[in-house]
Amino acid sequence: MMNLTRDDILKALSLVKVNEEEFLGRWVFINNASVFEGLVAVMLTQNTSDKVATRVYERLKGRLGSITPNTILSLSVSELEDILRPIGSFRQRARRLIELAIVVNERYGGSLEFIRSMSVNEAREILMSLPGVGPKTADVVLLNLGKPVFPVDTHIMRISHRLGIEGGYEKVSSFWIRLLNPSEYLMAHLGLIAFGRAICKSRKPLCSNCPLRVKCRYYMNINKANQ
């Protein structure tokens, strides 16, 4: 990584347009979802495109009306599996949602709203103790609740590693937290995902369109290989 700055990133992100409605996790919170419903929506996006996850979320919402632990538990396993079928590993996903609903009912009386007023570390610990919730899922929920975290998805991880930002989830997340201002975390997170989809693609990235290429290890290695 060659002296990557906040201004470098903001310049790159100015090339992409972020439509918040295209991100299921963001969209549900914009529409005043409960913390539990928002968490379910974010879990649906795990290893799944937002388009597919949104379609499944709408099916689930349409079937239940309100997504709560009790309404999820009102479905039979086969009914829930059928709703989740467009998503990969839908049987496992159904079991996780049922486990999640049971745990939230038993531990927290069916609501996770108390998380809104908790510190970042406390809230993150609670979320990550729930079935099917890892660091990224927890951080997406927390970011949408206004907490100063930086979720790292596959697009952001790819961009980061190409730029020479080494390490796993926590190290990469910490880098972006240090580089950017807290008020920029949400839009930079969404912007980097959009940038990864449109420019820094997994296959055939559009390096010629990228202002970060002069500081990108991936681009420099390609140039060396082609010389």
Q: How far apart are CA 219 and CA 217, in angstroms?
A: 5
In the chain the first and final C-alpha atoms are separated, in Å, by 21
pTM of the model: 0.94
pLDDT cut 90: percent of the chain above it = 95
Mean pLDDT value across residues 167-183: 97
Position 226 scores a pLDDT of 66
Q: Per residue in 176-213, pLDDT tens?
A: 999 999 999 999 999 999 999 999 999 999 999 999 99
- Exposure class string for 36-69: b at 16+ Cβ within 10 A, else e: bbbbbbbbbbbebebeebbebbeebbeebeebbb
Average pLDDT over residues 166-181: 97
> Which tens digits make up the pLDDT trace of 59-87?
999 999 999 999 999 999 999 999 999 99
Residue 212's contacts (CB-CB under 8 Å, 6 or more residues apart) are 4, 8, 9, 12, 163
pLDDT in tens, 111-137: 999 999 999 999 999 999 999 999 999
- For 32-64, write each residue's pLDDT tens digit: 999 999 999 999 999 999 999 999 999 999 999
What is the pLDDT at residue 164?
95
Quickly state the pLDDT bin for 222 (edges 50, 70, 90). confident
pLDDT higher than threshold 90 for residue 1:
no
* Amino acid 88: pLDDT: 87
Q: What is the pLDDT of residue 227?
A: 57
